A = this chain, B = another copy of it.
Amino acid sequence: MRGDIIVQKYGGTSVANVERIMHVAERVVKTKKNGYKVVVVVSALGDTTDELIALANRITDEPPERELDMLMATGEQVSSALLAMAIQKIGEEAISFTGAQVGIMTDRAHTKARIQGVDAKRILKELEKDRIVIVAGFQGITEDQEITTLGRGGSNITAVALAAVLKAQECEMNTDVDGVYTADPRIVKDARKIDQISYEEMLEMASSGAQVLQARSIEAASKFGVRIHVRGTFHETEGTIISKEVRAMENVLVSGITLTKNEAKVTVCDVPDKPGSAAKIFEMLGEANINVDMIIQNVSRTGATDVSFTVPRDELAKTLKVANKVSGEIGAHGVTYDEEMAKVSAIGIGMRSHSGVAATMFKTLADEGINIDMISTSEIKISCVIKKTNGEKAVKALHKAFDLGKKS
């Protein structure tokens, strides 16, 4: 048991410039002075990764992924080295490493590699020398010594993997917000910071619009039992702890309300009720790498039925091309779409054992005069697709209906 290790991850906005790097250095040193061994994972400075990709795109429309990884991996190497300098400037010993140097082994899937193992020896050796260890996030190496990157949210994955293998007490995700909220505070004025939330709820919130953490890193944390602490780089307060189910006594039905605004709804009309028709649609969408979210198909009473689904709005054009093609092939009657949709979701482990959440949700939206286009449910989530113009009104009403606001 090495309960005295803390892994801290700092995102790109947290190290966007020299002043912020100095601030992060001070936070790291403070944690060390509080008696912890600290391992820091950093993202690239500000928009560096996007800038590097833009540079590659000026050379070629389709940069080869192996070379893109060589290029992008430099971003985190730069920020790691600078943070090590900043910490040493304050007077603590620090040493930075690339993913390769600390043995973050991945598969060969360039630009979206998966971590297969971490060899913690080098990190533990440096921690024993009383040094702060800084690891370049987002990157790893294959057994052939090829540099890989881990895709979106890759630095979070690096942090969770290190926390798991080091048996860290906590994996801090330092970001530009100070925790996870019951709803987006920009929409709901009295949204409350959630102190504790389960992996499952956080997972549903992440896939329903809460931008704090990607589903992938929450899944990994859940798998390895890594306790996550989402907190603000520029806040001194405690943030939100994500861990196993913890709140039986609190009796909370709904933990949060999320909203995604960039949904497009597509309907393939009058799909013949033959085995394999619907499968064909989603097979072709899958081949085109289109991210289908909700899928609705009602019972057929006329030998044909409408099949509706939602996709991110920026994938609509591509989707319509595929959908029109497949509509012809399966003998459906064309495609309609609405690109101005939003998805509002209520999430809470309490739903599992309490009925009535769905009823409250639908009644609240009805009372506000908001029409529900599509409904989808999971064990701990209910999502409704509505007109985008109603999105914020729906979040406010639901936040109030489930009594999530600050207690006065």
A interface residue numbers (CB < 8 A to B): 18, 21-22, 52, 55-56, 58-60, 63-64, 66-68, 70-71, 73-74, 77-78, 80-82, 84-86, 88-89, 95-96, 98, 100-101, 145-147
Say whether A71 contacts B60, CB under 8 Å: no
* Known A63-B85, A64-B84, A101-B146; 10 more pairs at CB < 8 Å: A18-B55, A18-B58, A56-B82, A60-B89, A64-B88, A67-B81, A67-B82, A67-B88, A71-B77, A74-B77
Complex Cα distance A81/B63, Å?
10
Q: How many copies does the complex hold?
A: 2
Say whether A78 contacts B60, CB under 8 Å: no
Tell me which of B59, B74, B145, B147 contacts A85 (CB under 8 A). B59
Complex Cα distance A145/B89, Å?
24
Complex Cα distance A18/B54, Å?
11
A117 CB to nearest chain B CB (Å): 17
9 contacts between A and B (CB under 8 A): A18-B59, A60-B86, A64-B85, A67-B82, A67-B84, A70-B84, A71-B77, A74-B78, A100-B100
With a cutoff of 8 Å between Cβ atoms, the chain B residues found around residue A145 in the complex are 100-101
Say whether A66 contacts B95, CB under 8 Å: yes
Tell me which of B56, B73, B96 contacts A70 (CB under 8 A). B96
A192 CB to nearest chain B CB (Å): 38
Tell me which of B68, B77, B82, B96 contacts A81 (CB under 8 A). B68
Closest residue of B by beta carbon distance from A73: B77
Closest residue of B by beta carbon distance from A55: B82
